[in-house]
Structure 1
Amino acid sequence: MKAFKHTTVLAFLLLLTSCDQFLDVQPKASISDQQTIVDKASSETALNGAYDSFRSYYSVNLQSIGYLSGDNIQWTGSQSQVQEFINHRVNAENPTVSSVWTGIYSMLNRANHVLDKVPAVQDPSLSEAQRNKIIGEAYFLRAFAYFDLARIWGGAPIITKPTLTPQDNRGIARSSQEEVYAQALADLNAAEPLLAETTDRFRATRKTVWALKSRFYLYQKDYVKAAEYADKIIADAGNYQLVKPYNAFFANDARGTTESVFEIFYNINETNSHRGQWQPQEKGGTRQWAPNDAFVALANDPKVGGNRSALVAKDNQGRWYGNLYYRSPATDPTFVIRIAELYLIRAEARAQTGNLTGALADLNAVRERAGIAKLTAANKAALLLAIENERRIEFALEPDRWFDLVRTGRATQVLNITDESKLLLPVPAEQLLIDKALKQNPGY
């Protein structure tokens, strides 16, 4: 498969970039907006800029929210602001929270420019199919951003037009979490017919839309549709399969295997900063993220982790470290959606709708790949707990655990959180100062 490779964003695309303040961009007077997206080449460059911005916001900071807020990973560094996620006492001044918020809105602005300008581009070399592809991919990226906004903060401002001046989108109050999720679904619905039913593990296609829809409907507890869209990917066995053993999708410099539905591409010129956070000092990293004792025990238990023990290793000081990101230079992909997730989404959806036999089959497909014994018949409650536990190990070094526990209502019990307001993060304090229309989440 042809991997997405970052195209340097030309100077005229500076207008598409959000600055440090909320949706703050270069004033329109500095560059004529009518010249930013005018032909096929600039349309494609603008879309590549949106992908680059997606890669930026989805990288270390968003990942650390998912890792550290769960119960698999410890922080070994000294910054107290990072420890806030593990303690579930995140302050509105937390720089990680601010970075993710501004990063998401930067990406939204880039996608909005594509969606605003590309439909009107007059260029004979831009075919209708190519135009639809560009627009469809921009809708997909925007959908992903709104999905993340909803699950991290609940309500958020919905912005669907480009920001041209620092004042353009100020004064817009936060929409509800339900409305933000609805915007994500609307964008997925818009993307679906515009994209071809092809396989590309680095760019959005109709299949990528189906995969994200399956995840979306699981969060919405619409289990029938969650299973329906998972079916579409799992049934495409010629392109999507659980690779064996578990580490075959990442070991030996693997990328773009049949395990992958959507992953982020890196190369020697644009490296993945995950690697340095996970690897120990002897391998040139900082090991600031590390598997905690509880997860190490699970991963190394042959009856639980099986061959997923490949996720952890020991350094020369006898300390455990995560080994999903290991390449030197750090060209490791970031895995966004894997076929294993679709199996476990369908397992959960089937269990919730009473199809325990089908749920067990999907769960056991993942367990069998991990080299552990299949489960036998169980009641609904036991099966759902088994699926939860399987997701914990399967995606331990991917940012799922925290969001899984929140969406299932299990976070307070499993993580001993006594204040349910902490299940959403605070709106960054700097955003509240910039825009008085924004209101803080309760409890902060």
Structure 2
Amino acid sequence: MKNLINIVLFSGLIVSISACEDYLDLSPISEETSEVAYENASQIEAALTGAYESFQAEYYVWDNVLFQDVRADNHYAGGDNPEIFQIDWLEVSPTNSRLFTNWSNIYNAIAKANIVIEKAPLVTDPKLSEERRTQIIGEAHFLRAYHYYTLVNLWGGVPLVLNFTSSAAPEDTQLPRSTKEEVFEQILKDLAISIESLPDSYGSDASVNKARASFGAANALAAKASLQRPNPDPEAALDYINAVENSSASYQLIPYSQLFDGNNYNNAESILEAQYLGGNEGNFGPQLVLPPSISGDSWRKFITPSHDLVEAFDSENDSIRKNATILFETVNWVDEYWGNSPGSEVPFAYKWKSADGWASSNRPYLLRFGDIVLLKAEALARLNRLGQAATEVNRIRDRANLPDLSASVEANQENMLAAILKERRLELAQESERWNDLVRFGEVVNVMNNLDEIDLRTGEPTNYQMTQDKILLPIPQEELDRNPNLDQN
């Protein structure tokens, strides 16, 4: 790790964050100020590199799994951290430190994107071509859109910070919340700029093409936003998905086992992925979840796949995706759901395959084509084009050696949507999609309140007491204290 970058949060708080070494062969700007640091091509490229490195911050490494899979029905909390158990039990307090950490990290990421958007047009260095300048601006708009997509799904309407500022004046830092719809509109505005600005690829090097925002990535994220927004637009989603499919980047499904074996980075299904290299460029997440035989340690891991998830795989005889997602192993600790005594066999989250002492090279997908295929099925189903929707779902099922959807599913829109939601669960478990999916399908309250998860310590089912009020996370108390113009969820 090298270089400390000082970023000004919109709240006026100054924080120092450690920036990993660049995976695009550029070092982030360090000691220079935003007023003087962007005079030549290398400096603005370095600023963009710093913006990409936000994908190595806490939320995108690890907490996205907590707030998407653990908060939903895919995983239980493990370990001994009370704040993670709050997430699992749907009792998240505004003072939970993970809220403010993630809020701060993501707004820091937005601040870095804003710097690039503002400064790139001002660089006069002849080494910066107009084509590259346009790409840089498009990449920064994509990054800002991605981070606002994260924020709006976690907290709903949030303050829209669209300009970098070093001011501490209240009128610049104490912004009110925009509505959820306004945030989605801004996401799609940013992505429209990206779609017009970005190439399908940057050449023949996949390690660059999958590390950078591209035409395909911008359209993929726009498709997700079009369906996730309060007033979904499946027609628009299909247009964006068609652009992804027709991209010269030639995205395609690959064998499911190869997606997560650690040997096929930047593959044809990957649209965008965090470029962990191991060592000083390592991913600490795998150490938190992998079993003793792989991680080399003997303490209880921080997440455990749920009975309900395992049963979902088994009900479909889905051994291919189950074996890529879950590994069972006997442990020496007590697990309140899988065995209330040492020596029980417990499942482990297994889409990461190597821990390497907190410095794994395993990479999370930020966007992948399998997700987009199922989004296409969903958009078609919402338009009542059920036969076409079934065709897309069956592409995913064929890869898992599962039979095509039945005629009764294909004949009924409600059944089709339920089948797509289940397919997304089996396809994307541990990939930080589940909570968003349950919310988008209007099923989160029903699903969480009908889980049959037995706490072996008491023999009683866990009661999650899910309500509509728990769909969004509380605004961090520290941010409420800083900004009197914010109101709590």
**TM-score strictly above 0.5:** yes
Whether the 8 Å contact between 1:143 and 1:188 is mirrored in structure 2 is yes
| Other-structure match for 2:352 | 325
Whether the 8 Å contact between 2:78 and 2:85 is mirrored in structure 1 is no
In the TM superposition, what is the alpha-carbon distance from 1:278 to its structure 2 partner?
1.4
Matched length: 427
1:248 lines up with 2:261 in the alignment: no
1:419 lines up with 2:482 in the alignment: no
> Matched residue of 1:203: which SS?
coil
| Other-structure match for 1:312 | 326
Range 80-89 or range 226-235, more displaced: 226-235
| Other-structure match for 2:340 | none
Whether the 8 Å contact between 1:192 and 1:206 is mirrored in structure 2 is yes
In the TM superposition, what is the alpha-carbon distance from 1:188 to its structure 2 partner?
0.7
In structure 2, relative to structure 1, the CA distance for the partners of 1:107 and 1:242 (3 Å cut) is same
In the TM superposition, what is the alpha-carbon distance from 1:54 to its structure 2 partner?
3.2
Cα distance in 1 for residues equivalent to 2:46 and 2:132 = 13
Question: Which runs of no fewer than 5 residues in structure 1 stay unpaired?
Answer: 1-5
Whether the 8 Å contact between 1:412 and 1:420 is mirrored in structure 2 is yes
| Other-structure match for 1:266 | 276
Cα distance in 2 for residues equivalent to 1:234 and 1:77 = 41
In the TM superposition, what is the alpha-carbon distance from 1:301 to its structure 2 partner?
4.9
Letter in 2 for 1:24: L
In the TM superposition, what is the alpha-carbon distance from 1:418 to its structure 2 partner?
4.1
Range 274-283 or range 301-310, more displaced: 301-310
Deviations 1:30-87 (A, max 9, x none): 9643222111111011011111123314221233211211101011112221111221
Cα distance in 1 for residues equivalent to 2:64 and 2:378 = 25
Whether the 8 Å contact between 2:200 and 2:248 is mirrored in structure 1 is no
In the TM superposition, what is the alpha-carbon distance from 1:319 to its structure 2 partner?
1.8
Deviations 1:194-240 (A, max 9, x none): 11122722210111101111111111320111122112223458721
Range 411-420 or range 171-180, more displaced: 411-420
Cα distance in 1 for residues equivalent to 2:372 and 2:401 = 19
> Matched residue of 1:59: which SS?
helix
1:381 lines up with 2:414 in the alignment: yes
Cα distance in 2 for residues equivalent to 1:194 and 1:224 = 23
Letter in 2 for 1:259: E
Whether the 8 Å contact between 1:24 and 1:163 is mirrored in structure 2 is no
In structure 2, relative to structure 1, the CA distance for the partners of 1:309 and 1:38 (3 Å cut) is same
The correspondence for 2:481, drawn from 404, 409, 433, is: 433
> Matched residue of 2:14: which SS?
coil
In structure 2, relative to structure 1, the CA distance for the partners of 1:23 and 1:65 (3 Å cut) is farther
1:239 lines up with 2:242 in the alignment: no
Equivalent residue runs for 1:23-34 within 5 Å: 23-25=12-14, 32-34=33-35
1:160 lines up with 2:162 in the alignment: yes
In the TM superposition, what is the alpha-carbon distance from 1:252 to its structure 2 partner?
4.5
RMSD of equivalent CA atoms = 2.1
| Other-structure match for 1:347 | 377
Deviations 1:359-384 (A, max 9, x none): 00000000110111111322111111
In structure 2, relative to structure 1, the CA distance for the partners of 1:197 and 1:140 (3 Å cut) is same
| Other-structure match for 1:299 | 313
Equivalent residue runs for 1:197-212 within 5 Å: 197-198=200-201, 200-212=209-221
| Other-structure match for 2:442 | 409
Letter in 1 for 2:398: E
| Other-structure match for 1:226 | 237
In the TM superposition, what is the alpha-carbon distance from 1:247 to its structure 2 partner?
1.5
In the TM superposition, what is the alpha-carbon distance from 1:425 to its structure 2 partner?
0.6
Whether the 8 Å contact between 1:24 and 1:167 is mirrored in structure 2 is no
| Other-structure match for 1:39 | 40
Cα distance in 2 for residues equivalent to 1:237 and 1:249 = 21
1:49 lines up with 2:50 in the alignment: yes
Letter in 2 for 1:137: E
Cα distance in 2 for residues equivalent to 1:144 and 1:206 = 14
Whether the 8 Å contact between 1:291 and 1:321 is mirrored in structure 2 is yes
| Other-structure match for 1:146 | 148
> Matched residue of 1:261: which SS?
strand
The correspondence for 2:429, drawn from 391, 396, 413, is: 396
Whether the 8 Å contact between 1:280 and 1:321 is mirrored in structure 2 is yes
Letter in 1 for 2:118: D
Letter in 1 for 2:325: L
Cα distance in 1 for residues equivalent to 2:136 and 2:301 = 39
Whether the 8 Å contact between 1:253 and 1:332 is mirrored in structure 2 is no
Range 77-86 or range 97-106, more displaced: 77-86
The correspondence for 1:186, drawn from 167, 186, 189, is: 189
| Other-structure match for 1:22 | 11
Cα distance in 1 for residues equivalent to 2:379 and 2:316 = 27
Cα distance in 1 for residues equivalent to 2:301 and 2:143 = 31
| Other-structure match for 1:257 | 267
In structure 2, relative to structure 1, the CA distance for the partners of 1:386 and 1:305 (3 Å cut) is farther
Whether the 8 Å contact between 1:247 and 1:308 is mirrored in structure 2 is no
> Matched residue of 1:36: which SS?
coil
Whether the 8 Å contact between 2:377 and 2:393 is mirrored in structure 1 is yes
| Other-structure match for 2:27 | none
> Matched residue of 1:189: which SS?
helix
Cα distance in 2 for residues equivalent to 1:62 and 1:18 = 23
Cα distance in 2 for residues equivalent to 1:390 and 1:26 = 41
In the TM superposition, what is the alpha-carbon distance from 1:408 to its structure 2 partner?
1.6
> Matched residue of 1:58: which SS?
helix
Whether the 8 Å contact between 2:327 and 2:349 is mirrored in structure 1 is yes
In the TM superposition, what is the alpha-carbon distance from 1:147 to its structure 2 partner?
1.3
1:91 lines up with 2:118 in the alignment: no
Cα distance in 2 for residues equivalent to 1:299 and 1:309 = 10
Deviations 1:286-321 (A, max 9, x none): 521121122123334553454442211122433211
Letter in 1 for 2:76: Q
| Other-structure match for 1:3 | none
